[in-house]
Structure 1
Amino acid sequence: MHTLEVSNLRIWDEQTDKILVKDSSFQIEPESCLAIVGESGSGKSVTCRAIMRLNKANIRHTGSIKLAGLELSELSEAEMRKLRGRQLGLIMQNGMRAFDPSSVVGSHFKETLKQHYGWSQAEITARMARAMENVMLKDPVALMNKYPHQLSGGMLQRMMIALAIVLKPTLIIADEPTSALDTLSQYEVMEQLITLKAETGCSMIFVSHDLSAVKRIADDVAVMRNGEIIESGTAAEIFTNTQHAYTKYLIDAKQALNSHFIRSMGGLALVDR
């Protein structure tokens, strides 16, 4: 059984009648990662929010979205709330938005894990501390007593990954998880996402325009443009045997940027240092 099966997904803005996603279909296998790539406005994030049922009220969709055979469109909002976090995990683009700015970050962990598992505060703290250490966060108990604004974007992203390690959802959606970070933090967060996938055995949707990151983590790739999936296949097929001109443009543009960077830094030997 597919972890996720999306069939004939159509998304539109009810206020303007604008079509955001025209007719999208894809599947994700157990323990695999599908990367969805494309420029801003191509329909990547709105597709992910449709899966989570987190789009605004005026954004409507039709089609089938099945998680391990369960049709999500048939669930009530209360039933969806039980699935979010426990079966459907979300790692957002901006870590600051994932936490209540008026509370310490540990409060978010305790509320979420108590709701899904009913654990005591002591058990929640112990489990989160172990997971935070796994993602290279030092002194986790002290960090849990800090407010979001006291932590960097990279630390907040790793905290979301630590929470996902504890929750062990069936599917994790990572929506542009590194785009708001500096280069070093991007690398660290990518390493932790790869570790998360390996440790939990989850399936993953990785949304990004960074093809280098996609190459590192994805088993399969879907390329979106103007609300349509224009090309899909294994990561190896997409990167070595591109069929669509737009996909070729994305890959060529990334390679040109890398080459320019290497020349600007004085050559490959210096970059490798």
Structure 2
Amino acid sequence: EQGVPVAQRVFKDNYLRPPFIQPYRCKRVLIEGVTIRNSPFWLINPVLSDDVIVRGVNCVSFGPNSDGCDPESCNRVLIENCLFDTGDDCIALKSGRNNDGRRLAMPIQNVVIQDCVMRAGHGGVVLGSEISGGARNIFARRCRMSSPDLQRGIRIKTNSVRGGLIENIAIRDIDIGEVKDAIVINFFYEEGDAGSHLPQVKDLHISHLTVHKAERAFLLRGFERAPISGVSLHHVEFKQAASVGVLENVAQIDQVDITFNGSALTL
């Protein structure tokens, strides 16, 4: 944050918790058929890498920041047939934090997530919060999520310090058993509206999503000067939800066939 050149960012005594597996600037990465337990930090964190496959991996870790799989500023990523039972986000797509993310300007892009199971975690399929380089062309399908300890199903988190353009996101055929908040888009994550880099969401399509039990269906919080728009919800069913939740500074949602506790819902 102080603008120190990367080559000078050397700590004599380094006590930072490392990711468990971190392919860095790699090409053609395959991580398959392994189980990772009790990681000190994020479990799998490919960075600035191309053509990454994470397949048939069990991520079971409940320590601090124990995200399951966090591809960061990668291009062409496939995550499939994996199990996530974590103390933080199950899958979190990232592209750098604040000025470092904008300096590299490498979005996380062309990602397919399919046939995964999410249990405990802060979020199931997540974008952010380190998303300053942007995200585009993300496709998630046929995932099953459920746990009393699953805090959020679909989650986007950012703020005006991190910013980021999030565009062309398609999420479909998702079954959520039990969750606290089903769909979250939060521009007030951590610092909130404390910077000049306004986040933007464009062409986010969620379809054929079934939520069996939730405390809140939605937590959508945009800025008054940058409301949430570009979201479509088609064929979304909340079978048993305690409340619709929070919708704050939401400019536009394209809605088709949303049901809430057995009745049609118009947001």
TM-score by length of 2: 0.28
Question: Where is the strand percentage greater, Structure 1 or Structure 2?
Answer: 2
Larger relative contact order (CA 8 Å, sep ≥ 6) = 1
Question: Where is the helix percentage greater, Structure 1 or Structure 2?
Answer: 1
Structure number, greater radius of gyration: 1
